[in-house]
Chains A and B, each alone.
Chain A
Amino acid sequence: MGRYLLKRMWHGVIVIFGVTLLVFVVTRLVGDPVKVMLPLEATLEQRAAFEKQLGLDRSIPLQFLDFVGDVAHLDFGDSLWQHRPAMEIVFEKLPLTIQLTIVGIGLAFFLSIPLGIIAALRPGGIVDRTTVFFSLIGFSIPQFWLGLLLIVIFAVKFHWLPTSGIGTPTHIILPAITMGLPALARLVMMVRSAMIDELNQQYVKTGYAKGIPFWRVVGVHAMRNAALPVVTLLGWEVIRAVAGYSVVVETVFAWPGIGLTAIQAIEREDLILLQSIVFTVGIMVVLINILMDMVYTIIDPRLKLQ
């Protein structure tokens, strides 16, 4: 196990390095932060002077050498956009997104299991049809619509919750629901689908015949085998939540997390902040993947660690 972990972490380092390098090169080839930073009517000379000050007029290999030197000191440089250390920004914003993801996706995951199982027990039945119907709607609706609707109902009409921002525990409720509801819908579909397949298998009928209690057959044996696609989807949901859905949810709820910051960094071509974000998210992705692989082996001991 130890050797496996080491090997995976080494792979992880390669991946992170690879991604950061890619982002570095790509942003300098495609992007030009100066034109976004200065007011629209600034002249060409002003832009050239500005660029020179930022050191962006040098060749890419030169810039990369500088970058490597800085990273050796764990210094990613100052964000072009916010003029403070980029990593400082990342450490400020990332915990908030993680908070939102854990609450939102976590709740979604834990609710999806009982809901999916109940639906799978009698496929085609009323409970199943209702669950499927609401799930389909749940993941087909746009997230900004859901968020704004929740705000209008619970914050504006009933004044039960704040409309936006952070600060108190009540502030996380609506954003977490908005983040988690579509995920819940998707997970329920997957749990249901996987469980239906499992419950059809021979061993389930054998189990019942042998007299094993119903809850044990379903809850332990069937669930274990159904877990693989569900865990895959869960990993995908978590990563997408941090890197994708968080943008919309954080924008709508003025939740100052990393998703919003990442998209603003791209819009402003803040290459340095972008590198830092990619680096950090890369680490998270690798960790989640390692975690998923380990969970695979727990679920299915047949899967040998390679």
Chain B
Amino acid sequence: MAEATNIEKMLGGRWLDWLQGLRNLGQELWRDKTGFTGVVLIGVLLFMAVAAPLIAPHDPSTQDLRARLRPPVWEEKGTWKHVLGTDHLGRDVLSRVIYGSRVSLLVGTAVVFVAGTFGVVMGLLAGYRGGRTDSYVMRWIDTQVAFPGLLLALIILAVIGPSMITVIIVLSLNGWMVYGRMTRGAVLSVRQTPYVEAAEILGCKGKRVIFRHILPNLTSPLLTLAILEFARIVLAEAALSFLGLGIQPPATSWGLDVANGKNYMFRAWWLVTMPGIAIAITVLAINLVASWMRLISDPQEREKQFARQTTVRRRRQSRRLVSREEAGV
């Protein structure tokens, strides 16, 4: 009996701790309004992607050639039936943006994850091991960089056939090199610092050195890079899908809608702008969350944040006091 309650207590304790940690995080988030906005936005986007069939007003592939190129509701010929207008085949733009989030978010995160992980691992290997390994990895990077990306896409297409997986593979193969280079450079420069040398002398194994000492220095530039790459990949997927190397109709993505809307840019600006705004908002949201994460993981930054907020609060309080005095209260 006693054991059971002990285990229960243990589990319960862990559970409570975890909940408590989450609650603290939430409070932190609430304090940083921009980070909060970012998380909310990402939540909305994820919800949109997952719940697309429930919230989209129309089927994104239903066409109506008589209702082509209708403008958004706030323009002269717009209607509430198609809030963001229709495209060149009469399909509802809002529904396409909602459904398009699925492909764009999936491809963007998958590629950043796959390419990033692979690139970082390669860079770590090259930088830490040095010598022959470094040489081989760097030459491999050089070769891939010099190899035309579209050609690579065509080969993979010939083997697998067009699909979202093809796009993810192609973009990952084309995109890992920059992570590799950056990681290797950072590893090389950190490796020779005194504290790393000290760790090695103390007998820390390679893995420990890498994970505990080197990687934390990398998170900042890598995170920035990941955000830049995400935007680039969403648009690169468009180029591939537009050519016929990627997703097939009736599936769509933001990038593909942007590419399809190119020739209607002057006639129907909303075809390019709406999915474009979606891309921009996603990138913004990711950036907000990333900077917030950097903030809370760096104790110095938290100090600065705390100091800033305290100053603002105090200033507000003193202003209120002053005005009360002036009002003769």
Contact = CB atoms under 8 A, between A and B. Distances in A.
**When A and B assemble into the complex, do they touch directly, with CB atoms less than 8 Å apart?**
yes
Interface of A: 11-12, 14-16, 18-19, 22-23, 26-27, 30-31, 124, 132-133, 136-137, 139-142, 144-145, 148, 152, 186, 189-190, 193-194, 196-197, 200, 228-229, 232-233, 235-236, 239, 243-244, 262-263, 266, 274, 277-278, 281-282, 285-286, 289, 292, 296, 300, 302-304, 306
B151 A23 contact: yes
Contact of A193 (B148, B193, B220, B279): B220
Contact of A30 (B155, B220, B223, B266): B155
B124 interface: no
Contacts of B6: none
Contact of B148 (A144, A278, A292, A304): A278
Given A232-B185, A239-B145, A277-B148, 17 more contacts: A11-B135, A11-B142, A18-B143, A22-B143, A23-B147, A26-B155, A124-B308, A140-B279, A142-B272, A189-B228, A193-B221, A193-B223, A228-B185, A229-B221, A282-B146, A296-B188, A303-B192
B112 to A, nearest CB: 14
B283 A136 contact: yes
Given A302-B189, A306-B134, A233 B148 contact: no
A57 to B, nearest CB: 20
B130 A306 contact: yes
B169 interface: no
A31 B134 CA distance: 34
A229 B182 contact: yes
B170 to A, nearest CB: 13
Interface string B244-280: 0000000000010011001001100000100010011
Nearest to A285: B146
A190 B228 CA distance: 9
12 contacts: A15-B139, A19-B147, A23-B148, A124-B308, A140-B280, A189-B224, A189-B227, A194-B221, A244-B149, A263-B150, A274-B151, A306-B131
A276 B139 CA distance: 20
3 nearest CB pairs, A to B: A229-B221, A282-B146, A193-B224
A101 B70 CA distance: 39
B69 interface: no
Contacts of B110: none
Contacts of B258: 142, 145
B280 A136 contact: yes
Given A30-B155, A136-B280, A289 B221 contact: no
A104 B192 CA distance: 36
B42 interface: no
B121 interface: no
B181 A278 contact: no
B148 A200 contact: no
Interface in B167-212: 177-178, 181-182, 185-186, 188-189, 192-193
A137 B273 CA distance: 12
A303 B188 contact: yes
B301 interface: yes
Contacts of A292: 181
A232 B182 contact: yes
Contacts of A286: 142, 146
